[in-house]
Amino acid sequence: MSRDPHTPPHASDGQDKFAKAFHTAPDAMVITDRDSGKFLELNASFVDRFGWSREEALGRTSVQLGLWRSLDERQRMLDKITAERQIDGFDVTLITRAGEVRSARVYGCQIEQDGRPCLVLTVRDMTRVRAQESALRDSQERLDLALDSAQLGIWDWHIPSGLLYGSARAAVLHELPDRDFHGPFGEFFACVDKTDRQRMRQAYARLARGPENDYQFTYRAQLDSGEVRYLESRARLYRDSHGKPLRMAGTLLDITERVLRERSLQASEEKFASLFQGSPDPICVSRVRDGEFVEVNPSFCSTFGWLAEDIIGRSSHQVTFWADHHQRSRLFEQLMRDHSLQNVEVQFLTREGQTITCMVASRLIWVDRQLCILSSFRDVTRRLQAEAALKASQEKFAKAFHSSPDAITITERETGRYIEVNEGFHRLTGYRTDEVIGQTALGINIWADPDERLNMIAALNRDGFVHHLEMRGRHRDGTIKTVDVSVEPIELGGVNCLLLTARDTSELREAEARIQHLAYHDALTDLPNRALLMDRLKQQIALLQRHSLRGALLFLDLDHFKHINDSLGHSVGDSILQMVTARLEASVRQEDTVARLGGDEFVVLLTGIEGSRLETAQQVRQLAEKLRDLLAEPMLLDGHRLQITPSIGIALIPDDGATPDDLLKRADIAMYRAKDAGRNTVQLFHESMQQAASERLRLENGLRMALARREFNLHYQPQVDARDSRIVGAEALLRWRHPTRGPQSPASFIRVLEDSGLIVEVGQWVLEEACRTGARLLAEGRIDLENFSLSVNISPRQFRQSDFVERLLALLHKTRLPPSLLKLEITEGIVIQQLDDTIARMERLREAGVQFAMDDFGTGYSSLTYLKRLPVDSLKIDQSFVRDAPNDSNDAEIVRAIVAMGHSLGLELVAEGVETPEQLALLAEQGCHLYQGYLFSRPVPLEDFIALLPGREQQAT
């Protein structure tokens, strides 16, 4: 570009040549006088560059021209030339005539010209170069700054030599010293993780194969500290003209933070995704713009019944998700305003249309640059239901608590203080709720027995609960009550409490005692009953045996009591039994037992009697006689003066039996014997009586089979009109012929039939047989409907059958016996019991034509009162009066009175048991002409009776 600036122009070497070079040099050149500094020569480039013309500059100095910005700089330059005789590129800053600042580099040397030391100076304008350099430097700095601020390191690998340049930053990133690296490739990348180095090689191999030249690779630098640094290398491969890799240069960036951030982001995204997917609560994302579901989790699907693919892409409106659209709009507005919603209770509809109540939380989020709503739901339907159920149950329990008839208290376990008591507690103790809350049971002295209280606490501590412990509690008025106590531990608001239930069992206990008493006592007389008697008897037998003492069992039966009961009514009967009780109790010792077995049967158990059997028997008999006399004392009841006599049977203990059953049976047997012996007597049991009792049993058993074996038949006793000895009727009388023992006495077997109840069945048979006979006699013309009646005895039990009337009418219908031919003989016993019912039955039968006769009239409590009301046709005068009437004026008087009564009531009179003409005469005298008795005929079998009847021809006449 220019000649060597060190070579000054030399006059002696051809002045023109040098001058030309001097003047045409592109750099500014001057020759100055060394000592004065004045310009001696200058070239055109100087004029060009500095603006001073040759004329202006020659003879003047650079200082005079104001070329220097810094005179110090000029001086340093001059000093350097002086010292070194030349300068080879001294950078200076000069100023042109126009004031422009120029960077220049000065070359120069000292020469001799005309004997004067001169300086030849070449001033090369470096302004542009400097500007370029500065710009370069600036851009380098900016690059460095950028790289630095980007934290980029740079590297440059010369592939053929394997040498690598790395910037200080790149070096530091590789944990190399903090300066530029110049060294082998391997050394630079020594810290790269082994596997990454392998990958790096592969990546380079791929790159080297071309055609790509850009390279990006992330690898891990293993630091000495054990940490790992992630570095991202971006580079470009430069190839030679043959395409062979020549150079590779690029940057290096520490992306550890980013990698870690990305990783944690990824982890958090995964976490969120798994939270979203795995959340037990339903979650959905819906778009604000159109309300469409963007994402739903599995719980959402299972809760609301939608498949994800069915609901995603559809709006909540389209799938009818909200139960209340107004609420939806309201909440949407609120969400838009507040950006979030917290725990709002909302009702949604499932796919099946079922309502589910949820607590909903929503907030706005951005998903793929779209504003969305993230909502999570908590299904509280069950909880609300459970809460409602709990509330209901709490209310129920509160109700139960307060309305319970039992006393219920809740106390704090630690202090024993009452927290709650109910109305039942008030009733039981007298304390009101407000008086006891905060108090303790001990404080208000609720428990009557401190030991019982301690027992309860011990049981509670031992078993954890108390169930049905009987305790005694104290009412505030001091009364003690038996209570059944149960205690359960409960927890209330984290506080250990005790729930105590106390039931007042005082009444229950009393009732139990009453029941117990009733079980062992007779309700009417409050005497021990059979069970208690047997119990005491058992004890006494053992006791007496142990002490070799004797005792006795007295069996009392009131004579004709049934009759009294029937005739005067139950209340009179009851009063009699109570009076008998009082009399019995008053006449025995405290240790003796008076018991009632039922009906009119009493038992007296006498104990602790000393002496032989004989002595005891005597003693007991005396007492029994005393009792008999006492009971026989008249009683005044309901205006009636009554006399009750007992029949008493005695069994001695242990002589007559070793068991309660045996003793009672034997006393009973003795009592029967007393009855048989005419009543109002005392009988001591004797072995022979056992036989009589056995006989009775045998009789009963025989009777049970008699009907089936056809052992019964009927005898007929004529009823006669004495005036013309005409048979006007007959009484059918039952007869029993035992297969081996022959005919049995009706007097004994009829009583057994009645006692055993067999009379109902047998009586029916009698009626049937009698009706058939009557019908036959009528059919055969042996009797006359107008002048004959057939009497049949009806026992009270038979008459009391509920369907007696219907049965009889049916029977009459069946046998075709005209009802008017039948006459039912009833006793006062039938009549008195339930008088109205009796009359009603009799009326019904009488309407059908059946007649009634009152049997045994005079023996009972024959009273005009009821006789007037009874629809009877005839009275039968009992044979006991008839028998003695001729000799006994008393009986004759009774007969007269009965006949008079009969006549005044318009009743027919039939006298029974007429055996003698005297009797008949007396009756006739009184005006009673109809009779029945041996005088005319005994009861006879049917054929014999028929024989007594007048022949048909006779009858017809």
Let me know: does 794 contact 838? Beta carbons within 8 Å.
no
Q: How far is the CB of 618 from ligand C2E (least distance, A)?
A: 38
Closer by beta carbon to ligand C2E, 281 or else 754: 754
Which 390-429 residues touch ligand C2E, going by CB under 6 A? none
Residues composing the chain: 957
Give the per-residue contact string, 558-597, with ligand C2E (x = CB under 6 A; - = no): ----------------------------------------
Closer by beta carbon to ligand C2E, 431 or else 749: 749
Closer by beta carbon to ligand C2E, 259 or else 760: 760
Closer by beta carbon to ligand C2E, 335 or else 730: 730
Q: Quick one: tokens of 379? A: 């299904």
Let me know: does 63 contact 71? Beta carbons within 8 Å.
yes
Cα–Cα distance, 680 to 668 (Å, whole number): 15
- Helices 804-815, 835-848: inter-axial angle, 10-degree rounding: 20
Q: Quick one: tokens of 499? A: 């729930």
Q: Is 669 in the site for ligand C2E (CB under 6 A)?
A: no
Q: How far is the CB of 824 from ligand C2E (least distance, A)?
A: 10
885: left (phi over 0), alpha (psi -120 to 50) or beta: alpha
CA 603, distance to chain mean position in Å, is 56
Which H or E run contains 747? helix 746-756
Select the span of 169-177, 204-212, 485-493, 926-934 touching ligand C2E (CB under 6 A).
Answer: 926-934
DSSP code for 951 = P
Q: Is 867 in the site for ligand C2E (CB under 6 A)?
A: no
Select the span of 158-166, 304-312, 527-535, 746-754 touching ligand C2E (CB under 6 A).
Answer: 746-754
Q: How far is the CB of 936 from ligand C2E (least distance, A)?
A: 9
Which residue of 565, 773, 793, 926 would you call a contact of ligand C2E, by CB under 6 A? 793
Q: Which residue type, as a one-letter code, is found at position 135?
A: A
Select the span of 12-20, 70-78, 601-609, 933-941 touching ligand C2E (CB under 6 A).
Answer: 933-941
Q: Is 932 in the site for ligand C2E (CB under 6 A)?
A: yes
Which residue of 734, 821, 867, 920 would you call a contact of ligand C2E, by CB under 6 A? 734
Q: Is 733 in the site for ligand C2E (CB under 6 A)?
A: yes
Closer by beta carbon to ligand C2E, 106 or else 766: 766
Closer by beta carbon to ligand C2E, 49 or else 876: 876
Beta strands in 646-805 (DSSP E): 646-653, 682-684, 712-721, 726-738, 742-744, 789-793
Tell how strand 874-877 and strand 908-911 pair up: parallel
Q: How many residues bind ligand C2E (CB under 6 A)?
A: 22
Q: How far is the CB of 717 from ligand C2E (least distance, A)?
A: 6
Beta strands in 872-916 (DSSP E): 874-877, 908-911
Short-list 365, 210, 216, CA closest to 287: 365
228: CB partners within 8 A, 6+ apart: 193, 220, 221, 222, 256
Cα–Cα distance, 427 to 409 (Å, whole number): 13
Cα–Cα distance, 297 to 577 (Å, whole number): 92
Give the per-residue contact string, 80-119, with ligand C2E (x = CB under 6 A; - = no): ----------------------------------------
Select the span of 57-65, 68-76, 327-335, 930-938 touching ligand C2E (CB under 6 A).
Answer: 930-938
Q: Is 272 in the site for ligand C2E (CB under 6 A)?
A: no
Q: How far is the CB of 903 from ligand C2E (least distance, A)?
A: 22
Which residue of 424, 805, 912, 929 would you call a contact of ligand C2E, by CB under 6 A? 912
Cα–Cα distance, 302 to 318 (Å, whole number): 19
Q: Is 915 in the site for ligand C2E (CB under 6 A)?
A: yes
φ, ψ (nearest 5 deg) of residue 165? -105, 135
The residue with tokens 């053929």 is: 160
Select the span of 105-113, 484-492, 651-659, 744-752 touching ligand C2E (CB under 6 A).
Answer: 744-752
Which residue of 5, 649, 763, 829 would you call a contact of ligand C2E, by CB under 6 A? 763
Closer by beta carbon to ligand C2E, 167 or else 851: 851
Let me know: does 763 contact 733? Beta carbons within 8 Å.
no
Give the per-residue contact string, 868-897, with ligand C2E (x = CB under 6 A; - = no): -----------x------------------
Short-list 246, 218, 211, CA closest to 234: 218
Cα–Cα distance, 116 to 40 (Å, whole number): 11
Q: Which residue type, as a one-letter code, is found at position 168?
A: A
Give the per-residue contact string, 827-866, with ligand C2E (x = CB under 6 A; - = no): ----------------------------xx----------
Q: Is 654 in the site for ligand C2E (CB under 6 A)?
A: no
Q: How far is the CB of 597 from ligand C2E (least distance, A)?
A: 27
φ, ψ (nearest 5 deg) of residue 753? -60, -40
Residues paired with residue 623 on neighbouring β-strands, in sequence order: none
Let me know: does 627 contact 556? Beta carbons within 8 Å.
yes
Which residue of 291, 746, 818, 950 would you call a contact of ligand C2E, by CB under 6 A? 746
Let me know: does 172 contact 180? Beta carbons within 8 Å.
no
Closer by beta carbon to ligand C2E, 8 or else 939: 939
Cα–Cα distance, 125 to 220 (Å, whole number): 52
Alpha-carbon Rg for the chain in angstroms:
73
Which residue of 9, 282, 718, 939 would you call a contact of ligand C2E, by CB under 6 A? 939
C-alpha distances in Å from residue 204, one per residue of 148, 166, 209: 26, 18, 8
Q: Is 933 in the site for ligand C2E (CB under 6 A)?
A: yes
Closer by beta carbon to ligand C2E, 624 or else 875: 875
Give the per-residue contact string, 312-351, with ligand C2E (x = CB under 6 A; - = no): ----------------------------------------
Beta strands in 43-100 (DSSP E): 86-95
Q: Is 913 in the site for ligand C2E (CB under 6 A)?
A: yes
Return residues touching ligand C2E (CB under 6 A).
717, 733-734, 746-747, 750, 763, 766, 793, 795, 825, 855-856, 879, 912-915, 932-934, 939
